[in-house]
């Protein structure tokens, strides 16, 4: 096998005016309903996706490797052409980046949950009854901008009971364990250093958690904080460097904005609906040559195990396809970052339907955008890491390799 | 993913009397005509290739990786089983090897163009009006066999305005820049050393270029020489070492002979037509157990953007298929080194139709040798680097791996 990496692509890429749109329908792939024998996508009425598939080359995207269920971060990085086994990004860094926090080199970030503990400090609800963003915003202000042993600690509300913690100072290390035991009926864990150089950081976080316990004591049900996924800002080459693109992200959920920012995309302001995202695309269409559009609804319905709602979410996406094609991008890629079958109620390892439209795509005979039809597509079962180079080629943005 | 390289194959290969024929139809793959919806190969009447495909296992050859457009050198090396990202070969070395020049270890070769410069030494035509091979042969004799600082300099005519320069001496380095700015309205560049050890070589080349300018001054329009792609003889393991084969190349174009020589094939004398090449195959059939036959016409017509002429060229190739099958090789592989769609007028990234015939091939249901039919073939979308091991296996020339 020939080993192609992002450096290889970088050496071939060239700037052109052509435009690429990547539409990620999160958790797109599914499993067949036991009655009908059809997946969510096969059940959905998707005339626009089917028409686009007919003009496209289709296949199934193997996100990481057969059998591997991807999280959202690797699932997206690979679609941007970054091998997620090489380019790792922690949940904490992601969470901070997703709320537009300007994480600096050397900063340490963690993901936090406000939680409920009883009088014995035992966790009774890891989500503190899913308190509102207003409440967690208020609590974060109490825990924000503290200074511990010369290190500044920032607490940032994210969504519901979720927050991000950022440590800013000299000589910090992300190599520490979680305080979140990820289950109830346990006490919050003391943070431990996994290496000598991380001892001071662990000590600071433990001191912070003691202060947090005191400060939050009177705010039942959110009377404690759990931290996990300590990480630092990732050092990735930007998409502008690698692909000579001017890339923009349109995503209503913070995590996906964070992922896009990690690879150097501009983050466009948008609303919470699919229609808002498409308006944002139209409004900014002339200013960028690469757009990543993220649709969350499908994944959320799959996670809920709601087959019918996922079908409806897919039909909702189908309705905005003509708005994208009307802009006449040179390349349109539609796929998902992974499958989220309603039957599994979570991410899965199943490969994801994939279509790539361009004037030069060499269309196959696939007339329907579905798991079963895409099996016979011209792309076959294609590693997702190859999608970005293929999109670049179809946009005529890659030079020939070798004489 | 399991990483198989040429060393792995080498350890399994064994000599047998069985014979392999690789027919490379250069630039074979295409794109559908906008009217008919059929590619060049799908438009061509190819009863013999179709009949062979019916008895074969078929697929689409992914030359390097999805989206990567290969040059001729990587496109061929990979078909011989050499990973072209590991086994690199420069244009200069290729050019010299392609005119049957016996490049020695330590020699440095470059590709040269006779060009036209005006009174201010500004390049007005990078190809000197495409002077004939007779003219460039005469000019090369004037520049041939010079000695500069103890290094011998050879000038060798290639085709039209193209020549190859070879430096032969001690302590030379290919790590120098081009004198060819690759555009007009610039003066030829002074050659620069990219490293300390290359300074002497750069100095010698610059002295040579000053002498060349004086010598060529009176030969307008070919009154200057541009050099690029300095390189040394590649050090590749030969196909005899790797595969225990006795391989021969039948190619009418110099570059493909050069590529074959780089992997240790014997180069058979042949004429310029497809029929000449087949006569050469018949004549030498008993003396070798591997034949690489190169057909240039298809690529040339694709590069010209002449869809109909490429169709005719494919039909021309189809006519000689029975001459190959009549020899009853144990394995026949037919494919291309890349696609050259007439619509693109150049090499492209699209995978290339591939068939492999042998008694042991496990035929699939593909009855037509075409891009769309091969999608459903038993080989799927297969990396070209795997073709040679598969051909070896089908010739029963590979031992079992492991106990």
The whole-number pLDDT of residue B327 equals 98
pLDDT of A1 over the 80 cut: no
> In A351-402, which ranges are E strands?
352-358, 380-383
pLDDT of B207 over the 80 cut: yes
The CATH 3.40.720.10 portion of chain A extends over 11-89+237-394
For residue B358, give the 3-state DSSP assignment.
strand
From chain B, pick out residues whose CB is under 8 angstroms from the CB of A2: 64-65, 78, 83-85, 383, 385
Per residue in A319-333, pLDDT tens? Answer: 999 999 999 999 999
> In B11-63, which ranges are E strands?
20-25, 57-62
> In B12-159, which ranges are E strands?
20-25, 57-62, 108-117, 123-125, 146-148, 151-159
Q: Residue A219 burial by CB count (10 A; 0-12/13-18/19+): exposed, middle or buried?
A: middle
Chain B residue closest to A11 (CA)?
A: B68
Neighbours of A37 (CB within 10 A): 10
Give the distance from residue A9's alpha carbon to the nearest chain B alpha carbon, in angstroms.
9
List of residues 6+ apart from B20 with CB closer than 8 A? B245, B289, B290, B291, B329, B330, B331, B332, B333, B391, B392, B395
List of residues 6+ apart from A218 with CB closer than 8 A? none
pLDDT of B100 over the 90 cut: no
Per residue in B45-61, pLDDT tens? Answer: 999 999 999 999 999 99
Of the listed ranges A284-288, B128-132, B321-325, B355-359, the one predicted with least confidence = B128-132
Kindly state the average pLDDT of the residues B221-235. Answer: 93
Per residue in B257-312, pLDDT tens? Answer: 989 999 999 999 999 999 999 999 999 999 999 999 999 999 999 999 999 999 99
The whole-number pLDDT of residue B323 equals 98
> What token pair was written down for B147?
């000695």
Q: Which CATH architecture group holds A11-89+237-394?
A: 3-Layer(aba) Sandwich (3.40)
pLDDT band of A98, cuts 50, 70, 90: confident
The whole-number pLDDT of residue B235 equals 86
Kindly state the average pLDDT of the residues A6-10. Answer: 96
The CATH 3.40.720.10 portion of chain B extends over 13-89+236-394
Kindly state the average pLDDT of the residues B102-112. Answer: 91
* CATH number belonging to the domain at B13-89+236-394, selected among 2.60.40.10, 1.10.10.10, 3.90.1280.10, 3.40.720.10: 3.40.720.10
Of the listed ranges A80-94, A143-157, A372-386, B341-355, the one predicted with least confidence = A80-94
> What token pair was written down for B282?
């018949």
CB contact under 8 A, A400 and B70: yes
Of B60, B74, B85, the CB nearest to A3: B85
Compare B395 and B1 and report the one with higher pLDDT. Answer: B395
Cα(B329)–Cα(B274) distance, rounded to whole angstroms? 18
Tell me which DSSP letter residue B290 carries: E
Best residue of B7, B32, B65 to probe chain A, by most A CBs closer than 10 Å:
B65
For residue A225, give the 3-state DSSP assignment.
strand
From chain B, pick out residues whose CB is under 8 angstroms from the CB of A377: 375
Closest CA to B158 of B72, B213, B96: B96
Kindly state the average pLDDT of the residues A385-399. Answer: 98
Per residue in A165-182, pLDDT tens? Answer: 999 999 999 999 999 999
pLDDT band of A104, cuts 50, 70, 90: confident
The whole-number pLDDT of residue B98 equals 80
Q: Residue A188 burial by CB count (10 A; 0-12/13-18/19+): exposed, middle or buried?
A: buried
The whole-number pLDDT of residue B3 equals 86
CB contact under 8 A, A378 and B375: yes
Give the distance from residue B339's alpha carbon to the nearest chain A alpha carbon, in angstroms.
11
> In B262-351, which ranges are E strands?
266-267, 290-295, 331-335
Kindly state the average pLDDT of the residues A209-214. Answer: 97
The whole-number pLDDT of residue A6 equals 96
Chain B residue closest to A394 (CA)?
A: B67
The whole-number pLDDT of residue B403 equals 86
Q: Determine which helix (DSSP H) or strand (DSSP E) holds A311, and give its type and residue range.
A: helix A307-326
pLDDT band of A125, cuts 50, 70, 90: very high
pTM for the whole structure: 0.89
Cα(A205)–Cα(A167) distance, rounded to whole angstroms? 9
Of B67, B83, B91, the CB nearest to A2: B83
In chain B, the percentage of residues whose pLDDT exceeds 70 is 100
Best residue of A11, A79, A401 to probe chain B, by most B CBs closer than 10 Å:
A401
The mean pLDDT of chain B is 96
pLDDT band of A204, cuts 50, 70, 90: very high
Neighbours of B316 (CB within 10 A): 16
The whole-number pLDDT of residue A51 equals 98
pLDDT band of B104, cuts 50, 70, 90: confident
Tell me which DSSP letter residue B360 carries: T
CB contact under 8 A, A393 and B84: no
Edge-to-edge strands, sheet with B290-295: B266-267, B247-250, B290-295, B20-25, B331-335, B352-358, B57-62, B380-383
- Asked if A110 and A225 touch (Cβ cutoff 8 Å), the reply is no
pLDDT of B102 over the 90 cut: no
The whole-number pLDDT of residue A219 equals 97
The mean pLDDT of chain A is 96
CA A331 to chain centroid, in Å, comes to 22
The whole-number pLDDT of residue B191 equals 97
The whole-number pLDDT of residue A354 equals 98
Q: Residue A312 burial by CB count (10 A; 0-12/13-18/19+): exposed, middle or buried?
A: middle
pLDDT of A3 over the 80 cut: yes
Give the distance from residue B286's alpha carbon to the nearest chain A alpha carbon, in angstroms.
33
Cα(A261)–Cα(A249) distance, rounded to whole angstroms? 8
pLDDT band of B89, cuts 50, 70, 90: confident
- Asked if B353 and B310 touch (Cβ cutoff 8 Å), the reply is no
Per residue in A332-385, pLDDT tens? Answer: 999 999 999 999 999 999 999 999 999 999 999 999 999 999 999 999 999 999
């Amino acid at each position: 096998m020939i080993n192609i990496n992002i450096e290889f692509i970088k050496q071939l890429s060239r700037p052109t005016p052509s435009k690429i749109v990547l539409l990620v329908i999160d958790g797109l792939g599914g499993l067949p309903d036991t009655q009908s024998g059809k997946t969510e996508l096969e059940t959905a009425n998707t005339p626009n996706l089917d028409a686009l598939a007919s003009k496209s080359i289709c296949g199934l995207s193997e996100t990481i490797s057969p059998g591997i269920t991807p999280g959202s971060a690797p699932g997206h990085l690979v679609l941007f052409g970054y091998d997620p086994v090489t380019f790792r990004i922690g949940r904490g860094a992601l969470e901070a980046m997703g709320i537009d926090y300007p994480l600096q080199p050397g900063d340490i970030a963690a993901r936090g949950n406000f939680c409920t503990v009883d009088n014995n400090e035992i966790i009774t609800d890891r989500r503190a009854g899913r308190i509102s963003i207003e409440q967690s915003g208020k609590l974060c202000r109490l825990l924000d901008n503290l200074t511990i042993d010369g290190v500044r600690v920032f607490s940032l509300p994210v969504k519901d009971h979720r927050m991000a913690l950022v440590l800013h100072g000299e000589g910090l290390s992300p190599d520490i364990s979680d305080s979140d035991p990820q289950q109830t009926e346990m006490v919050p864990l003391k943070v431990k250093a996994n290496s000598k150089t991380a001892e001071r950081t662990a000590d600071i976080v433990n001191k912070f958690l003691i202060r947090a316990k005191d400060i939050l004591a009177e705010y039942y049900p959110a009377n404690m904080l759990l931290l996990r996924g300590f990480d630092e800002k990732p050092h990735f080459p930007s998409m502008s460097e690698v692909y000579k693109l001017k890339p923009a992200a349109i995503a209503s959920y913070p995590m996906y904005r964070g992922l896009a920012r990690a690879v150097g995309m501009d983050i466009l302001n948008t609303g919470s609906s699919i229609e808002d995202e498409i308006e944002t695309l139209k409004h900014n269409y002339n200013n960028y040559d690469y757009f990543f559009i993220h649709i969350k609804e499908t994944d959320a319905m799959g996670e809920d195990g709601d087959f019918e709602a996922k079908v409806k979410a897919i039909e909702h996406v189908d309705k905005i396809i003509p708005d994208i094609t009307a802009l006449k991008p040179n390349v349109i890629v539609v796929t998902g970052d992974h499958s989220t079958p309603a039957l599994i109620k979570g991410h899965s390892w199943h490969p994801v339907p994939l279509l790539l439209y361009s004037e030069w795509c060499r269309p196959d005979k696939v007339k329907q955008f579905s798991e079963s039809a895409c099996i016979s597509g011209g792309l076959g079962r294609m590693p997702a890491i190859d999608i970005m180079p293929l999109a670049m080629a179809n946009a005529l943005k890659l030079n020939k390799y070798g004489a």
